Amino acid sequence: MRELYHEELDSITDSLVEMATLVGSAVGRATTALLDADLELAESVISDDETVDALHRNLDERAIMLLARQQPVATDLRLLVTSLRMSADLERSGDLAQHLAKLARLRHPECAVPRDLRDTVQEMGRLAQSLMARTAEVLVSHDLDTALQLERDDDRMDELHRTIFRHLMDDRWQRGAEAAVDATLAGRYYERFGDHAVAVARDVVYLVTGRHADDMAPAAPVTT
Amino acid sequence: MRELYHEELDSITDSLVEMATLVGSAVGRATTALLDADLELAESVISDDETVDALHRNLDERAIMLLARQQPVATDLRLLVTSLRMSADLERSGDLAQHLAKLARLRHPECAVPRDLRDTVQEMGRLAQSLMARTAEVLVSHDLDTALQLERDDDRMDELHRTIFRHLMDDRWQRGAEAAVDATLAGRYYERFGDHAVAVARDVVYLVTGRHADDMAPAAPVTT
């Protein structure tokens, strides 16, 4: 009975890792779809998000069932409670990757990203994917240094986000409102994606230490 | 002992209602600050968000403590688990109201909302405030009809959000990229605010019935 219980706890972590892996891949593919105006790829990102949503709901049901049946305490309780929160963050990240793909689809066959923002968007996409890949890693390794490092690496995302705004506000911006709207939304989606990856890593810190990431390192506050 | 426990459960609901009331007021004041370019009001919305953040953290700690100490089952367990989720949604709504106020502050003494979008933004603000006021109500009344109605009323928010985009994409839009960026962000903040209010109402449905809102009414899916 207890063994089965611990298997079930492990399987919750497995599902979180699976979700993080899927949304990490999704944001990478969404970025390619955006930059290459690749409709087929965009469609696949959009439809694949269903898998993430299903994992999310299934994970929540299992966690609530375990809370009810096993009456866990201490670490197990913390695992289940934070899993619900992490699962919500990962589900939301999947939505954001899907939003990026929808932007690519909306503008197809045009490219939603103007030439002069390509490098910035490409870096945001790579960074988003890397943040989420390391979040997946941290979910398994419980490595606190990596978890706390993620927050600092996300600062670069905020910087890139500001780069987009600076660019749009520049008097030389001649691409009109439509391109400005697209760039604003894309920037916001990547920035929020990064925030969710960091939120999951922060929950791992809480899970392992029982303390909040804020109390552990003099890091900058997460952008909200 | 049991009496104290039930008082603590009630106090969790009280905190949720307090959070919903505060963020409802915040989004109303942020809207006024946006439309009137009122810097003082914007500053007050920005600094008041600390109260919501403190309530959020405090509520989560109490809920987790109750989960650990009281080993609740059935309805009480559901209350605590959904409280964590609702608290996160309300905290996030507070952030979005704060973002709107920051937009007002950023453009002050100019007005961040161009004249031809004033009516739309005003309606979005009123709707956001009304959705959240009713969410606060539903948290107390557990009235399922009102909870399910909220989701349908949020459709109007999505419609207003689309109105903004249509407006920005119109060839007659002559206000440049900066105003387009502001309007895009403001529209997105209101739309997400509405989503979070609806998410809390959906959690009340789950809390009362043990079933998900999706399975109860042929409503449109929540915009993500």
ipTM: 0.87
Residue B83 at interface with chain A, using a CB cutoff of 8 Å: no
Partner-chain contact A185 B180, CB within 8 Å? no
What is the DSSP track for A169-183? HSTT--SHHHHHHHH
CA distance A33 to chain B (A): 20
**pLDDT tens, residue by residue, B173-204:** 777 888 999 999 999 999 999 999 999 999 99
Whether residue A68 contacts residue A14, with contact meaning beta carbons closer than 8 Å, is answered with no
Question: Which residues 174-213 of B have a C-beta within 8 angstroms of A?
Answer: 175-178, 180-181, 184-185, 188
Domain A2-215 has CATH 1.20.1340.10: no
A110 pLDDT more than 50? yes
Handedness of CA A192, B93, A46, A57 (dihedral sign): positive
Residue A4: which residues within 8 A CB-CB, separation 6 or more? none
Residue B133 at interface with chain A, using a CB cutoff of 8 Å: no
**pLDDT tens, residue by residue, B36-49:** 999 999 999 999 99
Whether residue B157 contacts residue B218, with contact meaning beta carbons closer than 8 Å, is answered with no
Does the model's pTM come out above 0.80? yes
Residue A169 at interface with chain B, using a CB cutoff of 8 Å: yes
Residues of B in contact with A117 (CB under 8 A): none
Among partner residues A77, A165, A177, which is closest to B173 by beta-carbon distance? A177
CA distances from A27 to A21, A204, B81 (A): 10, 22, 29
CA distances from A135 to A23, A145, B129 (A): 11, 12, 36
Listed by start position, the domains of chain A span 2-215
Predicted confidence at residue B221, as pLDDT, reads 40
CA A26 to chain centre: 10
